[in-house]
Structures are given as structure tokens and as C-alpha cells.
């Protein structure tokens, strides 16, 4: 088993960093995320929000890895999170569901508000391979090295989303649709009303292609538009 941990301090306060973290897919630094679904979401009696998401990511196998053992370089992940808005804590744990014998990756991320109203992110990862054949250590080392490379990219993704949220709060009505559906801040909820549902269901795809966020995305991924 290989272990790695790292802490990082955001200058922004906890609510905005936590929001950015949950809105982070898609972003240009996470093009390997193919899908992301909420499997369950509930609030506990104390007000904590528990969410389970199912995520499909595209990975790449190292050249030296015997290809016959892994059918495809895609991986299902389950992400379980706990948001406590009163204690200002987010806890999030992600694990892969397939190829766990080859490599089991378990990531724990925490966001806490500091006394200076900044946000401290603490990340821990455990990588375990049960592969054998003299490759166990090599696989674990590869996993940790990849993780260290990716942690920087994922942080850049969160920073990008943070910037977009800040921007949408500064000019809430100017663009009509903010970078994220449902945001900007405290606008009327016509998007969510039952009456608007059918209409917006049909329009949601076309509306999202003209939103600021989609413009950013299309700029990064012109082939996807």
C-alpha cells in the first residue's frame, strides 16, 4: 500500500470553495470525466447533506502493463460526500469500482474553514495493488506518481470554476444564464418550476450551448460542440 497526503489553502471562504468543488465537472482540466450521476442524496436530521455519485473516468494504462488483464481503460468510481454547512466541513471519499485487484485507489478529501475565513483542503490517497506477478510495487508507484501529477490539475480545475462563480456573482443578470444552470446567486427559480419543466427540458440543451460556461467549454473543446 502506498500513501500520500497533501494540504492546500484557498484564499476564498468555505461556501464558495465547496460549491466550486461540487460543480467541478466538467472542466477543461477534467476531460477524462465521461459521466457523473447522483445515485442518492439525502439530508440527515442534523442538516448534513449526504450524496453518492457514480463517475465514469477514462484512464490510461502504462505502456508496460499487460493489456490482457484490463478490458478497457475506463473506470467507474463511487464518490461519497458529507456536507455540514453549520460546522463548515466537507468530507468526500472516492473509490474505484472496477479493476480493484489491479489497483484500488481510495481518496479522501476534506475542506474546512479556517479562522481567517480561508479554506483548508486536505487530501489523502491510499493505493493498493493485489496484482502480484512482481508488478505490485510498480503498479502502486505508478498510481501514486499519477495521482501527484493529477492533484495539481484537479486544483486548477477547481480554481477555474471558482473564477466563474465569482464572475457570475458580480454580474448576476447580465448574461441571462450564468455559467452554471441554477446559478447565479439567489435569482428567481423559474428554471426549476414545474410549469417551466417541459419547456426547459426541451430547451435545456440549446440554452446550455449558449451559456457562458458552455462558451468556455466549447472554446476548450471545439470538437464536442
Partner 1 sequence: MASSLSPECTPLKTQYDACFNSWFEGYLEPAVAASSTKNRQEYSKRKAEEEYKACVQKAVKDSGLESTLQQARDEHPLKSPPPPDPSSLEQGKKH
Interface with partner 1 (CB under 8 A): 3, 5-7, 14-15, 18-19, 22-23, 25-26, 33-39, 41, 47, 49-50, 52, 54, 56, 76, 78, 80, 82-83, 85-86, 91, 93, 95, 97-98, 106, 108, 122, 124, 126, 180-183, 185-187, 189, 191-194, 197, 200-202, 204-205, 208
Shortest distance (Å) from residue 35 CB to partner 1:
4
Shortest distance (Å) from residue 59 CB to partner 1:
16
**66 versus 85: smaller Cβ distance to partner 1:** 85
Shortest distance (Å) from residue 123 CB to partner 1:
9
**15 versus 62: smaller Cβ distance to partner 1:** 15
β-strand pairing of 33-43 with 49-58: antiparallel
Q: Do the Cβ atoms of 121 and 8 come closer than 8 Å?
A: yes
**62 versus 210: smaller Cβ distance to partner 1:** 210
Residue 190 half-sphere exposure toward CB, CA atoms < 13 A? 6
Crossing angle between the packed helical segments 136-170 and 14-22, to the nearest 10 degrees: 120
- Between CA 36 and CA 39 the distance in angstroms is 9
Q: Is 47 exposed, middle or buried (0-12, 13-18, 19+ CB in 10 A)?
A: exposed
Shortest distance (Å) from residue 63 CB to partner 1:
28
The beta strands (E) that lie in the chain are given as 2-10, 33-43, 49-58, 74-84, 89-96, 104-113, 119-128
**25 versus 220: smaller Cβ distance to partner 1:** 25
- Between CA 225 and CA 60 the distance in angstroms is 24
SS3 102: coil
**88 versus 146: smaller Cβ distance to partner 1:** 88
Shortest distance (Å) from residue 23 CB to partner 1:
7
Amino acid at each position: 500500500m502506498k500513501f500520500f497526503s497533501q494540504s492546500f489553502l484557498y484564499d476564498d471562504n468555505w461556501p464558495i470553495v465547496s460549491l466550486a468543488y461540487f460543480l467541478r465537472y466538467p472542466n477543461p482540466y477534467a476531460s477524462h470525466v465521461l459521466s457523473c450521476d447522483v445515485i442518492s442524496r439525502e439530508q440527515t436530521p442534523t442538516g448534513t447533506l449526504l450524496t453518492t455519485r457514480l463517475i465514469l473516468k477514462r484512464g490510461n494504462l502504462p505502456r508496460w502493463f499487460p493489456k490482457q488483464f484490463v478490458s478497457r481503460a475506463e473506470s467507474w468510481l463511487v464518490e461519497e460526500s458529507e456536507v455540514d454547512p453549520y460546522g463548515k466541513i466537507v468530507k468526500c471519499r472516492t473509490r474505484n469500482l472496477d479493476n480493484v485487484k489491479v489497483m484500488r485507489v481510495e481518496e479522501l478529501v476534506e475542506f474546512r474553514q479556517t479562522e481567517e475565513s480561508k479554506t483548508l483542503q486536505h487530501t489523502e490517497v491510499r493505493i493498493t495493488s493485489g496484482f502480484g506477478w512482481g508488478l505490485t510495487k510498480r503498479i502502486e508507484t505508478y498510481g501514486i506518481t499519477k495521482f501527484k501529477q493529477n492533484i495539481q490539475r484537479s486544483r486548477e480545475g477547481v480554481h477555474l470554476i471558482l473564477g466563474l462563480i465569482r464572475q457570475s456573482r458580480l454580474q448576476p443578470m447580465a448574461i441571462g444564464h450564468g455559467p452554471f444552470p441554477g446559478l447565479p446567486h439567489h435569482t428567481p427559480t423559474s428554471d426549476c418550476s414545474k410549469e417551466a419543466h417541459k419547456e426547459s427540458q426541451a430547451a435545456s440543451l440549446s440554452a446550455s450551448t449558449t451559456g457562458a460556461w458552455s462558451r468556455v467549454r466549447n472554446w476548450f473543446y471545439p470538437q464536442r460542440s
